[in-house]
């Protein structure tokens, strides 16, 4: 199993990208909080993983013309079409959908090949969050006071894309692995579902999908494009709340990318860290971690992208990483963020052949 893994930093100098809402604990109920998590006695602003995924999915639609799966709602449940043949976001982002009628209930589930962390602030809230006091005064009468939090920080996130799972769907009867149904196992009283699946399978055969007893495998060109687009979208990602008042570019300003056998991501913890209010890059930690998992690194390449204007003081540390790993037989490409993403996407495309 081959995974494309990475870590990104988003520079958020004046931002409120994912809000918690009104603080109901206050009697006046006029303060809008940012989302925060507690760690080691401190609180850190964060963007939820689902918000980041929403930006990611939307960017794939807008920039790469992905035909997104339609959304359906039944009572308190929301689900997509669960059709990864037709809709690439169902393929890459996964789904769960239950087909119900009477006592019959068939559920299909796809574990998302793309996994991601939240985007978490490197600075704690005590040194990054500000509360802005405002007044609504465009109406007649007394101004109405309100307050909202925003932050100035760098957000860190990581992801992992299972390249073997993209465009490959299991049909075995096991929780999380029943991505699609077999037409002949759908009960007669679910005639609409049967018709839907006949159309799905017809489409799969039309585009040359390999179909056997346990799985469906889409043509490699389809899998290659979907995986490559997913990574390339990082370069153009956009989104976030409060953009009218706190405009923020959420494209990465720093990224580390590599491919590993297995599902590890050695870039998640403590390569980038906060020290007395400053954000530091630990080159020794990165070198050590890459060497520790060198046997799983395939190909033996590491792509590091950095915006020229972001953390200028890291240049010497990056040279140290490049020189040290080169001596160990690992190629390190240090370039701009966009170039690193494009070169990494080429490696992904090469994986599919």
Measured CA distances, 183 to 30, 128, 201, 205, 241 (Å): 54, 55, 8, 14, 43
In this predicted structure, the answer to whether residue 117 has a pLDDT above a threshold of 80 is yes
Which helix (H) or strand (E) covers residue 154, if one does? strand 144-162
Instruction: Report how far residue 206's alpha carbon sits from residue 204's, in angstroms, rounded to the nearest whole number.
Output: 5
- Residue 203, φ and ψ in degrees, nearest 5: -65, -40
Residues 6+ apart with CB under 8 A from 184: none
- pLDDT for res 261: 95
Map out the domains of the chain as residue ranges: 1-48+118-167+219-352, 49-112+168-217
pLDDT tens digit sequence for 194-223: 999 999 999 999 999 999 999 999 999 999
- pLDDT for res 81: 95
The pTM score is: 0.94
Q: What is the DSSP string of 260-284?
A: EESS--TTSSSSEEEETTEEEE-HH
- pLDDT for res 100: 80
Instruction: Report how far residue 211's alpha carbon sits from residue 205's, in angstroms, rounded to the nearest whole number.
Output: 8
What band does 285 get if pLDDT is binned at 50, 70 and 90? very high
Which helix (H) or strand (E) covers residue 256, if one does? strand 254-261
Mean pLDDT of the chain: 94
Q: What is the DSSP string of 29-74?
A: --EEEEPEEEETTEEEEEE-HHHHHHHHHHHHHHHH---PPPEEEE
SS3 at position 152: strand
| Stretch among 169-173, 281-285, 298-302 having the lowest mean pLDDT | 169-173
In this predicted structure, the answer to whether residue 116 has a pLDDT above a threshold of 80 is yes
- pLDDT for res 166: 98
Q: Do strands 301-306 and 31-34 pair parallel, antiparallel, or not at all (unpaired)?
A: unpaired
Measured CA distances, 9 to 158, 267, 268 (Å): 9, 11, 11
- pLDDT for res 120: 97
pLDDT tens digit sequence for 136-145: 888 888 888 8
- pLDDT for res 328: 96
In this predicted structure, the answer to whether residue 48 has a pLDDT above a threshold of 90 is yes
Residue 100 CB neighbours (<10 A): 12
265 contacts 255 by C-beta, under 8 angstroms: no
Measured CA distances, 285 to 42, 202, 232, 291 (Å): 24, 51, 27, 10
Q: Do strands 144-162 and 31-34 pair parallel, antiparallel, or not at all (unpaired)?
A: parallel
The burial class, CB within 10 Å (0-12 / 13-18 / 19+), for 34 is: buried
In this predicted structure, the answer to whether residue 187 has a pLDDT above a threshold of 90 is no
SS3 at position 162: strand
Nearest to 92 by CA among 22, 164, 31, 14: 164
15-21 average pLDDT score: 94
Answer left, alpha or beta for residue 147, where phi above 0 means left and psi between -120 and 50 means alpha: beta
| Stretch among 164-173, 176-185, 198-207, 228-237 having the lowest mean pLDDT | 176-185
In this predicted structure, the answer to whether residue 103 has a pLDDT above a threshold of 80 is no
- pLDDT for res 104: 77
Instruction: Report how far residue 12's alpha carbon sits from residue 23's, in angstroms, rounded to the nearest whole number.
Output: 23
């Amino acid at each position: 199993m081959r995974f494309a893994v990475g870590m990104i930093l988003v520079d958020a100098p004046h931002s409120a990208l994912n809000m918690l809402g009104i603080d109901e604990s206050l009697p006046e109920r006029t303060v809008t909080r940012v989302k925060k998590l507690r760690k080691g006695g401190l609180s850190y602003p964060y963007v939820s993983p689902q918000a980041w995924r929403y930006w990611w999915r939307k960017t794939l639609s807008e920039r790469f013309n992905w035909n997104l799966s339609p959304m359906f709602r039944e009572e308190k449940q929301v689900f997509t079409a669960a059709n990864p043949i037709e809709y690439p976001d169902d393929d890459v982002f996964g789904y769960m959908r239950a087909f119900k009628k009477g006592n019959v209930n068939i559920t299909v589930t796809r574990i998302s090949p793309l996994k991601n962390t939240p985007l978490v602030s490197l600075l704690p809230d005590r040194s990054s969050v500000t509360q802005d006091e405002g007044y609504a005064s465009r109406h007649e009468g007394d101004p109405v006071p309100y307050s909202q939090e925003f932050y100035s920080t760098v957000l860190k996130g990581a992801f992992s894309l299972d390249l073997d799972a993209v465009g490959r769907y299991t049909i075995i009867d096991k929780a999380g692995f029943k991505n699609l149904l077999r037409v002949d196992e759908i009960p007669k009283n679910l005639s609409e579902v049967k018709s839907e699946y006949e159309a799905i399978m017809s489409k799969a055969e039309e585009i040359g999908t390999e179909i056997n007893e346990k799985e469906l495998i889409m043509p490699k060109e389809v899998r290659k494009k979907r995986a490559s687009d997913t990574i390339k979208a990082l370069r153009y990602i956009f989104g976030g709340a409060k953009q009218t008042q706190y405009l923020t570019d959420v494209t990465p300003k720093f990224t580390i990318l590599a491919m590993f056998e297995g599902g590890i991501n050695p870039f998640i913890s403590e390569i980038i860290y906060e020290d007395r209010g400053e954000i530091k890059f630990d080159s020794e930690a990165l070198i050590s971690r890459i060497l520790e998992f060198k046997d799983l690194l395939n190909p033996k390449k590491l792509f590091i992208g950095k915006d020229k204007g972001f953390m200028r003081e890291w240049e010497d540390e990056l040279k140290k990483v490049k020189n040290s790993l080169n001596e160990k037989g690992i190629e390190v490409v240090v370039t701009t963020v966009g170039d690193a993403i494009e070169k990494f996407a080429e490696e992904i495309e090469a994986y599919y052949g």
